[in-house]
Amino acid sequence: MKSPRTRMLGWATAVLLCLGAPISSRLVAQTAPDNSANNQNQTTTADNQSSASADRHLTAKVRRAIIADKGLSLYAHNVKIITRGGMVTLKGPVQSEDEKNKVAADAASVVSADKVSNQLTVK
């Protein structure tokens, strides 16, 4: 019996063939995520997010503040926000140093700046 993944790849190939896609686009390349090596040695990850109600609400408030800033890129709107014990950690790539500072300022508008750990990286 075929695995669900094998069936999905077979289905996707059949769709591409029916659509007349060029041979090169029919090949499914499997590559590792480009930031896997960076993620392996991280101490603060989304898995460390507290399940305490206050931390979850704080995370949501910070996310809303960042999303409300329409001057930020899609990268900045999608940064990881990890809250534990009222401390907010920001992680992920952004487009520029200015954007990195804007995201941190948006987070600091919700909690005090000394409770924000800015670990964002400029892409």
Query: Per-residue DSSP letters for 4-48?
Result: HHHHHHHHHHHHHHHTT--HHHHS------TTHHHHHT-SS-GGG
Ordered per-residue pLDDT tens for the chain, 123 residues: 556 655 555 656 655 555 555 555 445 555 555 555 555 555 666 666 777 889 999 999 999 999 999 999 999 999 999 999 999 999 999 999 999 999 999 999 999 999 999 999 998
Q: Could you state, in order of their start, the residue ranges of all structural domains in the chain?
A: 4-30, 38-122
**Per CATH, is 38-122 categorized as 3.30.420?**
no
Confidence at residue 26, expressed as pLDDT on a 0 to 100 scale = 45
Rounded Cα distance, 50 and 77, in Å: 21
